[in-house]
Homo-oligomer: A and B are copies of this chain.
Amino acid sequence: MATRVQSGKAAAGGRRNRADEVLRAAVEIFHDKGYAAASIQDVADRVGVLKGSLYHYIDSKEELLARIFEQSDRESFALIEEMEALDVDALQRLREFSRLWSLWYLRNVERASLYFNEWKHLTGDRLAGVTAQRHEYEKRIAKMIDDCKREGTADKGLDTRYACFFLLSAINGLPVWYRPRGADPAEHIANVYADMIVAMVQHTKGRKRPSKAKARARKKS
Interface residue ranges, A against B (CB under 8 Å): 33-37, 117, 120-121, 159, 162-163, 165-174, 176-177, 185, 187-189, 191-193, 195-197, 199-200, 202-205, 207, 209-210, 215, 218
Measured between beta carbons, the chain B residues less than 8 angstroms from A210 are 185, 187-188
**Cβ contact of A187, chosen from B120, B172, B218, cutoff 8 A:** B218
29 contacts between A and B (CB under 8 A): A34-B34, A34-B36, A34-B120, A34-B121, A35-B36, A36-B36, A36-B37, A162-B196, A165-B173, A165-B176, A166-B170, A166-B196, A168-B173, A169-B169, A169-B170, A169-B171, A169-B172, A169-B173, A170-B170, A172-B173, A185-B218, A188-B209, A191-B207, A192-B207, A199-B199, A199-B202, A199-B205, A200-B203, A202-B203
Task: Determine the chain B residues whose CB is within 8 A of the CB of A209 once the complex forms.
Answer: 185, 188
A169-B174, A173-B173, A196-B200 given; name 13 further pairs at CB < 8 Å: A33-B36, A33-B120, A35-B36, A37-B121, A159-B192, A162-B189, A165-B174, A169-B173, A185-B215, A187-B210, A188-B209, A195-B207, A200-B200
